[in-house]
Amino acid sequence: MRRKLRILIAFFAFIALVLGYGLFEAQWIKTSYLTIAHPEIPEGFSHKKIIFASDFHCGLFFSQERAAKIVETINGLDPDIVILGGDYVDSSKEYIEPCFHELAKLKSKHGVYGVLGNHDYLVGEAETKAAMVSASIVVLDNDSKWLDIGGQRIKIGGVADFLTGHAVLEPAISDVKDGDFVVLAFHNPNYYDKISGNVDLALSGHTHGGQISLFGKWHPFFELRYGQKYISGIYKNKNSLLLVSNGLGTTILPFRFFARPEINVITLESSVSN
């Protein structure tokens, strides 16, 4: 009987340890750095920093205070451009206002831009877009903006969420010419297979890096509707590069295992003279 009791105690201690670590990792944000050297990046954009943040999932497990701390962290990175990858709230409209109350405090030399995620469309597309506008965040769903610095420019575009069926690429790249550097944000990374050669750098989230995985290799709870081709990190095809961020929040359960939340810092470098 004592042996069985010891085994039972050890089992529950192990479960508590695992759950405790999962809660800890969900709060253990890392900053990931990437440098993009490309001949189509104008000299005026060399050394400019893009901060990409996705999947806040503000809600029961992601408080307004936590969002405020992340905004403070992003501002401390001194961004030139901020791009947000969607899923701002998790499951209720009541979290839209407090979330964007904090996101409105983002500081960026050349603007804050964002697309919507599948949760944003489910919770409230109109309300989310209105909150973004009120927070001075440029809504890029099926749209784009030219960013001009000293007479040189790059295109920053976005596509609406793939899962909702609203994604249309053409409005974001219709006026792009050969030699233009294009950054395109979309929430679901599976859309990467559908973009054309007119996109140089694609930014996506949605996956949470699998959120719960075994050493980052097996992701038992990640949605299988479009497979697990793009989970986390850098992917390339012959025309462009895709960055899939682990994002910042969680969904369904407040745990992460081997999929730390992250803020992505992308430094642009012109390789014309390299």
Strand order in the sheet with 233-236: 143-149, 152-159, 182-186, 201-204, 241-244, 233-236
Angle at 113 between CA 111 and CA 117, to 5 degrees: 165
76-110: pLDDT as tens digits: 999 999 999 999 999 899 999 999 999 999 999 99
Look at residue 94 and give its three-state secondary structure. helix
* CA–CA gap between residue 43 and residue 221 (Å, rounded): 44
**Which of left, alpha, beta for 206 (phi over 0: left; psi -120 to 50: alpha)?**
left
Cα–Cα separations (whole angstroms), residue 88 to 53, 71, 91, 220, 248: 10, 13, 10, 24, 10
What secondary structure letter does DSSP report for 56?
-
Cα–Cα separations (whole angstroms), residue 91 to 31, 121, 245, 250, 253: 26, 11, 21, 11, 12
Sign of CA dihedral 68, 74, 80, 86: negative
Residue 210 · residue 224 · CB < 8 Å: no
The per-residue pLDDT for 49 is 97
State residue 43 phi and psi, 5-degree precision. -55, -35
The per-residue pLDDT for 215 is 65
The per-residue pLDDT for 227 is 65
The per-residue pLDDT for 219 is 64
Domains of the chain: 2-270 (3.60.21.10)
pTM for the model: 0.93
Question: Which parts of the chain have pLDDT scores under 50?
Answer: 273-274
The per-residue pLDDT for 22 is 77
The per-residue pLDDT for 266 is 98
Q: Which residues pair with 266 in a beta bridge?
A: 34, 50
